[in-house]
Amino acid sequence: MIRYTAGRLASLILSLIAASIVIFAVIEVIPGDPASFMLGVNAREDTLAALRDQMGLNDPLPVRYLNWVTGLLTGDLGTSWTYKTPVADLVADRIWVSLPLAIYALTLSTLIAFPAGIIAASRRGGPADVTIMGATQLGVAIPNFWFAMILVLIFAINLRWFSAGGFPGWEDPALALKSLTLPAIALALPQAAILARVMRSSLLDMLGEDFIRTARAKGLSRRQALWRHAVRNALIPVLTIIGLQFSFLLAGGIIIEQVFFLPGLGRLIFQSISARDLIVVESVVMLLVFTVIVVNFAVDLAYAAVDPRLRRRA
Amino acid sequence: MTLLGVKNLTLNIGPHPILHDVDLTVEAGKITAITGESGSGKSMTALAIMGLLPKGANTTGTITFEGGDLLQTSEPDLCDIRGNDIGMVFQEPMTALNPVHTIGSQVAETIRIHTKASKTDAMAQAATMLKRVGLDVPPDRYPHELSGGQRQRVVIAMAIALRPKLLIADEPTTALDVTTQARILTLLQSLVNEFQMGLILITHDLAVVADVADTITVMKKGRVVESGPATRVLTQTQHPYTKALLAASSHQPATREPYASQTPATPGLVVQNVTRTYPLPRQTILGRRAHFRALDNVSLTIAPGERVGLVGESGCGKSTLTRAILGLEDVQAGTITLDGDPVFTGNRPNLTVRRKMQVVFQDPYGSFNPRHRVGRLVSEPWHLLETKPPNGPDLIAQALTDVGLTPSDADKYIHEFSGGQRQRIAIARALITQPDLIIFDEAVSALDVSVRAQILDLIADLGTKRRLAYLFISHDLHVVRAVTDRVLVMQKGRIVEDGPTAQVYDTPQHPYTKELLAAAPHLPDFAEV
């Protein structure tokens, strides 16, 4: 298990280095000079040159890469060209919306999907299965922004249980959570639908395995055999999906952030790209990549915890 | 004392009749064998006794066990009986265990379901039971760390942990090597004696039955066709089906002219000092990698027209040798040539060699693309030729006729054929380029005895007619003896014995060959009985 973890950790570090090089290279080859963008089309040539120099755009590429990476490691992400504030502060504000929202949505989707998938699988072909599968079909098909608007219409405008949008900050955690609830539900339901379907099909595969028959021959009832022998084995594909979904939820909630006026990472990156604020784009993308890689690392460790065949005896 | 009595058991699953009026009795301390070919209803009878029939099953008749009728017993009561009074062992030890739990906890689970034993108590009992079934592996291991034979011992330990009165073993040794099979059968026999259990031993292999059973029940298409004490069923066989089964199991293909060892025009297949190793995972992070020698200095020749057998247990290197001969992978040392040409030429196959050599694999289900028609499947090897033959359809028709099918079968899909027919199609595919050498890799291992006998006849017949050389690879000693002139015995990557078939079987020289021959179950010779 220690060797397995060490191996995964080494792969994590290598992935991060590779990703940082790729992100840096891609941003560098994107057409559009940030200096001329900042000063406008009528800027004087010498002002432009001075700004380019000040921004370090004239240094050789390796030097700029090293400066950027050193900055990342020391928490100095540079200064946004459009907002004129440190990128670190910008990102820190947004991540405290996006990260809790992603975790909230993922928790909800898991809490819905696990029981739904297990019930559907254990009563395959029965009315419960048909109902759950029908509901997940809908959940996959409905666009989440439309669903978000329906939620706003019902719970914010008609019932007035929640506010229709905005984020009050974390001074009052209860209020903050409350304002994230509708967005989290809107994000979670489509994910839950997918996860429930994966859980169901994975469980059905397991229920057809020989060791389930062995478990029944030992004297376990159908339900006991399902819980003791099928669920844990069925988790591997489910964990894979959860890992993918978390990465998606963290940055991919941009439309939901728009619908609910949430100051999240998705909006930040969208605005920075439109403004050619490349230093923000670079940092946010790197942060997202970092999160994805760390989540994958966590998923790998979870695999090994679930399935002993994946750990090697050292 | 009668332990279990099955009377007039009839089973339908949905509209399909599965069993008709099956009668069976099992005595305590005796072994009752149920035998028959696939689809005869052996396993369904066992599942009916266990109350584990699939959904939609409809039964009539009675299954009396300990005074009660199992068919009328409620599901919760059946759960109490399963694992406690009746244990069951299944065919596939590789998949019968849950991969995510330790073997000890899986044996302990049986104990914990039915008794009030504490977790530590149950684990201790499980450890004792694992020792009793001859497993010298600590109970905290996971199934994937064990070999097939060891896993089957774990499954047996699980089934007998509470000393059930009845044990049902469904093909318990079919997936195992002959030597392992012999040990598992001995274990089952000793458990029957020690615990005075009744044992229902289900197997398609009459030789296994003949060695251990007290009574034999022969089934065909859901009916019992013959039943009685083992010696009577085997020696004074009544039913024609039983006679046919016995004949098929000890079948010797007829009309074999012995191989004439005149000096051949071409050298044929020459394998010289071949070594193939695979790196093993590092034991420490920067430690040296150990290597596993799958083939260790292997040399053999197959002259044109020669019929050679290769026997050995799983993991002995048979498959690696097959892949190397087919030129599918490189070897670290030594050379493999066919008529002087190397078989392995990097990423681009050596077509001159490939068209002279074809292969038939074990699995008649997995080795065909289900979306292509038989005609296309059979003619696939033509891509080895420079130009497609102009009279393609005629050649396909000829190849299909040669293997006992009809030309019109070329338009069908593979799912329309039975296992035996599919293996004929595989042979037709191998014959289509008129090869000099065919490799049969466990080509009859997945077939029922009667089908196996037909395929063996076909192989022997083709060998004679076409002066075809072949390498017949099998773990089944009996089959190899029937169709080869010369036999090679392989152990741990080495050829330990090489000689004329009759000589190797009658006077084996190497201790491993002797062990293999002793372990192989055999039907009694009826002339002697």
Tens-digit pLDDT profile for residues B209-267: 888 889 999 998 888 888 888 888 888 888 888 888 888 777 777 655 666 555 666 77
Mean pLDDT, range B294-306, rounded to an integer = 87
Partner residue facing A214 (CB), from B75, B90, B144: B90
The better pLDDT of the pair A160, B28 is held by B28
Rounded to 10 degrees, the C-alpha dihedral A275/A277/A283/A286 comes to: 60
- Identify the band that residue A119 occupies on the pLDDT scale cut at 50, 70 and 90: very high
DSSP string, B106-134: HHHHHHHHHS---HHHHHHHHHHHHHHTT
CA distance B44 to chain A (A): 13
Mean pLDDT, range B383-405, rounded to an integer = 81
Alpha helices in chain A (DSSP H): 2-29, 34-39, 45-54, 61-74, 87-122, 127-141, 144-151, 173-207, 210-217, 222-225, 231-252, 254-259, 265-274, 278-306
- Identify the band that residue B34 occupies on the pLDDT scale cut at 50, 70 and 90: very high
* Cβ of residue A223 closer than 8 Å to a chain B Cβ: no
Whole-number pLDDT of residue B168: 92
The better pLDDT of the pair B286, A240 is held by A240
CA distance B458 to B464: 10
Whole-number pLDDT of residue A252: 67
Share of chain B above pLDDT 70, in %: 95
User: Chain A neighbours among B 274-333 (CB < 8 Å)?
Assistant: 281, 283-285
pLDDT of residue B3 exceeding 80, the answer is yes
Helix, strand, or coil (residue A272): helix
**A138 is written with which tokens?**
């809908």
Interface test with A, best of B47, B75, B98 (most A CBs within 10 A): B98
pLDDT of residue B152 exceeding 80, the answer is yes
Are the beta carbons of B76 and A221 separated by less than 8 Å? yes
- Identify the band that residue A314 occupies on the pLDDT scale cut at 50, 70 and 90: very low
CA distance A16 to chain B (A): 21
Report whether B227 contacts B238 (CB < 8 A). Answer: no
Report whether B103 contacts B142 (CB < 8 A). Answer: yes
Are the beta carbons of B109 and A233 separated by less than 8 Å? no
DSSP string, A135-179: HHHHHHHS-HHHHHHHHIIIIIIIS-SS-SS----TTSHHHHHHH
Tell me the residue type at B209: V
Whole-number pLDDT of residue A193: 94
Report whether A142 contacts A188 (CB < 8 A). Answer: no
Whole-number pLDDT of residue B286: 66
Mean pLDDT, range B84-108, rounded to an integer = 88
CA distance B245 to chain A (A): 29
Alpha helices in B250-372 (DSSP H): 318-325, 351-354
- For residue B98, give the chain A residue with the closest CA: A211
CA distance A313 to chain B (A): 9
Whole-number pLDDT of residue B527: 37
φ, ψ for residue B253, nearest 5 deg: -55, 135
CA distance B80 to A220: 8
CA distance A22 to chain B (A): 29
* Cβ of residue A9 closer than 8 Å to a chain B Cβ: no
Tens-digit pLDDT profile for residues B254-294: 655 666 555 666 778 888 888 888 887 766 666 677 778 88
CA distance B430 to B439: 9
pLDDT of residue B170 exceeding 80, the answer is yes
pLDDT of residue A313 exceeding 50, the answer is no
Residues of A in contact with B110 (CB under 8 A): 218-219
* Cβ of residue A308 closer than 8 Å to a chain B Cβ: yes
Please state, rounded to an integer, the average pLDDT across all residues of chain B.
84
Partner residue facing B142 (CB), from A211, A228, A309: A309
φ, ψ for residue B60, nearest 5 deg: -130, 165
Are the beta carbons of A229 and B144 separated by less than 8 Å? no
- Identify the band that residue A312 occupies on the pLDDT scale cut at 50, 70 and 90: low
Mean pLDDT, range A267-294, rounded to an integer = 84
Whole-number pLDDT of residue A112: 94
Query: Element (H or E) spanning B471, and its range?
Result: strand B469-474
Whole-number pLDDT of residue A124: 86
Mean pLDDT, range B330-339, rounded to an integer = 84
**B276 is written with which tokens?**
């193939």
- For residue B49, give the chain A residue with the closest CA: A217
Are the beta carbons of A214 and B110 separated by less than 8 Å? no
* Burial of B7 from C-beta contacts in 10 A (0-12 / 13-18 / 19+): middle
Spell out the residues 6+ positions from residue A29 whose beta carbon is closer than 8 angstroms to its own: none
User: Model's pTM, two decimal places?
Assistant: 0.79
Share of chain A above pLDDT 70, in %: 94
* Neighbour tally for A71: CB within 10 Å: 17
Residues of A in contact with B81 (CB under 8 A): 219
Residue count of chain B: 529
Mean pLDDT, range B499-506, rounded to an integer = 88
Q: What DSSP character marks residue A29?
A: H
Buried b (16+ CB within 10 A) or exposed e, B397-421: bebbebbbbeeebbeeebeebebbb
User: Chain A neighbours among B 137-166 (CB < 8 Å)?
Assistant: 142, 144-145, 155, 158-159
Residues of B in contact with A306 (CB under 8 A): 100
CA distance B334 to B354: 19
Interface test with B, best of A211, A213, A220 (most B CBs within 10 A): A211
The gap between the terminal CA atoms of chain B, to the nearest Å, is: 29
CA distance B388 to B375: 14
pLDDT of residue B151 exceeding 80, the answer is yes
Tens-digit pLDDT profile for residues A34-93: 677 667 667 777 877 887 777 777 777 888 888 888 888 888 877 777 777 888 888 888
ipTM, two decimals, is 0.77
Residues of A in contact with B87 (CB under 8 A): 217
* Cβ of residue B108 closer than 8 Å to a chain A Cβ: no
Are the beta carbons of B79 and A306 separated by less than 8 Å? no
CA distance A123 to B219: 35
Whole-number pLDDT of residue B529: 34
- Identify the band that residue B524 occupies on the pLDDT scale cut at 50, 70 and 90: low
Residues of B in contact with A216 (CB under 8 A): 52, 82
Partner residue facing A211 (CB), from B79, B96, B283: B96
Whole-number pLDDT of residue B361: 85
Spell out the residues 6+ positions from residue B337 whose beta carbon is closer than 8 angstroms to its own: B267, B269, B270, B272, B343
Whole-number pLDDT of residue B262: 58
CA distance B111 to chain A (A): 9
pLDDT of residue A107 exceeding 90, the answer is yes
Tens-digit pLDDT profile for residues A182-229: 888 988 998 999 999 999 999 999 988 889 999 999 989 888 898 889
Residues of B in contact with A232 (CB under 8 A): 100
CA distance A312 to chain B (A): 9
Work out whether the CA dihedral B404, B406, B407, B409 comes out positive or negative. Answer: negative
Whole-number pLDDT of residue B297: 87
Whole-number pLDDT of residue B528: 37
pLDDT of residue A251 exceeding 80, the answer is no
Q: What DSSP character marks residue B354?
A: H
B323 alpha-carbon distance from chain centroid: 20
Are the beta carbons of B95 and A210 separated by less than 8 Å? yes
CA distance B137 to chain A (A): 15
